[in-house]
Structure 1
Amino acid sequence: YDPGELIDKPVSTINALSEASSEEKSLQIQRFIQTEGVWRGEIHNIKKDGTTFWCYVYISTFKHPQYGNVLVSIHTDITERKVAEQKLKDSEEKYRNLFQQYKMLVESITDSVYVLDMDWNYILVNEAAAKLVKLTVDEMLNNNLIDLFPRIEETQFFKVYKSVMETKKMERIRNEFTYPDGRYGVYEVSVYPITEGILCIARDITEEKEIEGKLKKSEEKYRNLSNQYEMLLESITDSVFALNSDWEYILVNKSAENINNLSRDKIIGNKMQDLFPGIEDTPFFKIYESVMNNRNEERIIESFTHPDGKTRFYDLSVYPIHQGILCISKDVTEEREIQQELEESEEKYRKSFYRANLYKNIFAHDINNILQNIYSSVELSSLYINNPEKLHTIKELYDIINEQVNRGKKLINNVSKITEIDETETILEKTEVHLILNRAVEYLKNSFQTRNIEVQITSSTKKIYVMVNKLLLDVFENILINAVRHNNNTNINIIITISRIDIDSKNSVQIEFKDNGIGISAFRKKGIFQKGTRKNQKSKGMGLGLSLVKKIIDSYHGEIRVEDRIKGDYKQGSNFILLIPEAL
């Protein structure tokens, strides 16, 4: 306000209090002055522009010559002081709050927290710190570190305390410490410089160090085991590899590298399906999937074709592991080949042994019959040789001897041929059927000149070719000879029919031999092509004849069977039917 501007104005004009409060304050001051004579205090005033400020006010009475008793007040602006006081108050409140929070924080920390002043006295200790050294907080506060822990100056911890106290730089130490009562521990202490001295945060790492030591030993043991495991893997001649659940290789030994013709760095981390396209379609992958899903060990022996086209046999064992599957594969190709050769050799030996015994028995039996017939004929000849009337009988006996000799030659020849088929590979060539058949018919008629034989050949074409060898002639001769020998009729009729037929989209030549002989019963048809089986035990046929025919036809990939010439009546003769692949 300007000087004189407040003349005649009430005191409340400059009072920042409300009107009621201002009036009440004025009355309080007046009563105090009446009693004490003066009043001193702080009043919140307001300026003309509306801003407020604080004043220290001194009020006393004064006797004015004109106005009588009046009040005189002296106002001192203390606004800055009041602002500073308020700030200090706020700061103290904030400090108290922070101190409480700090105290709560220190107590809540599980690590040991303590503060040492410049004289090594404890000025702050939390419960964890007291508990660590088996003392109370009161027993530590304001007591000296060196007094509580004699000879601590000789430890590495004290050297760090002293260093931080002097350099004002934070340091951390991990070391052992032995208490006065003999207890031992390992501690990690972080030391920070503060105004009062040093702040220390200590953590008991005794158990951690023990675990660390055990872990170190365990790791060393694991490294040794790992090295041994690696050495074992590399020494195994079998292929060892592991796949994770994403079908990626996570382990491969040297044998697995060699077997796949790939280096380890090109296998590890790559998917099986990428390295071996199409492996999902193999029996091996089905086993991998089964073990991966069912977690049961499985084994398989199967062939596998590598990307380079090579096919090998492997004996594979698959085991479930935590990451996926572990596979151990052994190349058994050579073993399989040796086993196969051994099995074939054993089978060949068994067959040879069986044949030798069979041929021996048949040969001995038939040779014995032949020799017996010859011997009987010779004995009879000796009786008739001086009797001219028996000359024709001697001639018949001579014919019998000659026939038996031919039978012996034929028997030996059959044994030779059937052995040849068993022991050598059959080489086939394109041959015209009529040519071979005509030779067989000519041989038949020359062999049985005293028999009345009529052979009729019917063919759908003049020339027809089959894939055979020279033994086809023996087949035709054998069937034709049987048709004569086992025929009691005066007139022997043989009808041969040649035709083309289609079997399973393959062209074949069918040759039928129909005779009017004694025929073959249904029972004897079942084993007629087996070695040593006779149509009739009293017959004159060779034990190897039809078994030889069957073996020769089999070597042509053909078929042979026998039926009744007249269906349902075997006594009317037989029909031998040959099927041989046609040569185009």
Structure 2
Amino acid sequence: NDYSVMFDLIRAIAKVRGRTGFSLGDVQKAIMLGVDVIMGEIIRSCKPEESQECFEAIRKLVEVMNWSHLGLGDAFSDVIQKEFTAGTLVALSAAQTDFEEEGIIRKSLDECCRILGYERGAVLLRYRTEFSSTMPLNTADDEALFRAIGAKVIKTGEAVNLEPAEPKARKTRQVALRTAVGLPIMARGKILGALLLGSPVQKTMSQHEMDFAKAVTSQIGLACENARLLKDAKHRGDKFKGEYEELFTILSQLGAFVYVSDMDNYSIIAANRFIEDAFGKDLIGKKCYERLQNNPEGPCSFCTNRYLLKDGVPTGPYTWKNRNPVTGNWYQCIDRAIHWPDGKIVRMEVAFDVTELETARAKLEEARRMLELFNDLLVHDVSNYAGVARSYLELLRDAPETAQKNREDMIRTALGQMRRIEELIDSVSKLNRAQTLGQSAMDVRDLASILEEVVADQRDAPASSAVEIRTEYARGVHFVRLGEFGRDIFLNLLSNAVKYGEGKPVTISISDSTLQRRPAWKVSFTDQGKGIPPEKRLQLFRRFERLDSLSKLKGIGLGLTLVRSLTDIYGGEVLVEDRVVGDYAQGTVISVTFPKA
């Protein structure tokens, strides 16, 4: 019941990691080893009448697992070591309200409280005496505490994390803050104010959350500064309608893409320096969809022109997000229709680069998904497999007179359950390492060579040695970029096709394809089994969902999840189709597509 020793061990591991720099994967393996030992002790010592106590012990173990992975996760150093060139996703979403500073602050505060789970919050700017924006502050003590923390943050420029003493009993139902955090809001080296977050319950901000909050607050400052520049630009535009060069000079200081295009023929009329640096100095007169989106076929299907006018009158700004195919970066775009000096209504777009924050948010979300996966493994699959193995071993212990053949079957079954646990842990370990490396350790590989190895391994497996595996591809012509676990993608797909193919031939083929308008190779695995109904295909790649209703064969439950995750990490795509179009019962084709190297 006391896990303080394990917490101390994890802290010690963290300190060693800080000094020696060994990988996060090594830390997680050490933690999982400790968890595995404790889990085994819990299961072995649990008596039938102690099922509730056993459940509570497992729950506490899962909490330790959660804490350890949040506490030891990679910091978003690339996020906090440099400022973005423009406002963040959360701050810039407020810019659709005419770029007003108050709207930016309010939306940023709401979003930050929602993401990090704080019920109360405020923004204090150094040039104002009152809070610029607040979430509910229920007591005067709460407001005083926020003011004190805000003043300290603004004075020192450092984050402050306070846990006030136990509040005195109150006659009202209002609950005072138990935890409060203050972070500096900065822009271009200046301290503009403080972001203050509070909770009426005891709460500890993890390193992931702290790094994320620092990145957001840094960009709130930039967004506020940019809001003032944009407001100034709008004022100048209203006052000096013919002086659009001055407007673009101001907009060029934002570090954002700004251009103006004709809403009828899509020709670019004006562009600021930043967009010219990225797409070329000869943009004027060119079609926006050709030069900015690399789309020679015509206007983009997502063009916002239709949202900017109503009955020929500008409707105000329209905000949207897009990943540009030319730069590969994510942009928060703000489009609006404006009057050009010649009297024509044109479209102006301001696009802020939010790639770093998108990456940070994706990492945070992936860390949460991995924790959910660990929880599921510990509470469900690992416990189930270990429980079956324990039951057979107890039978062997308690019934020594069991016939030799039955004893061998029991031992074989118990060992099979332990192998399932090993396979689960191996799959999670591979997925974790692949996510850590991303696309930084990918090499050019010959698909045919990989598939030959996979086919040879599958043919050596006793359960599939009688299944005919047909190959339809040539060697030395199909090259793609894959990471170290690319082979596992194909091995899982082939194993799945053999397992559910009803013993009939399985065909592997490679064909030409495209992926996001890029030339690609498509590897298809075709079986002749009972097929997959269209309504069940979305379940295929979800964790721990098996199509048991279609077959009595049981899968590990993580294989296709590993396929989807690894394919996404390596920049590919997974597709499920019927072998015979329109008749799913004739078999299934599962294919993966990767860009050509």
The TM-score, its normalising length taken from structure 2, stands at 0.41
Which has the higher relative contact order, 1 or 2, with Cα contacts under 8 A spaced 6 or more apart? Answer: 2
Q: Higher strand share goes to which structure? A: 1
- Structure number with greater Rg is 1
The TM-score, its normalising length taken from structure 1, stands at 0.41
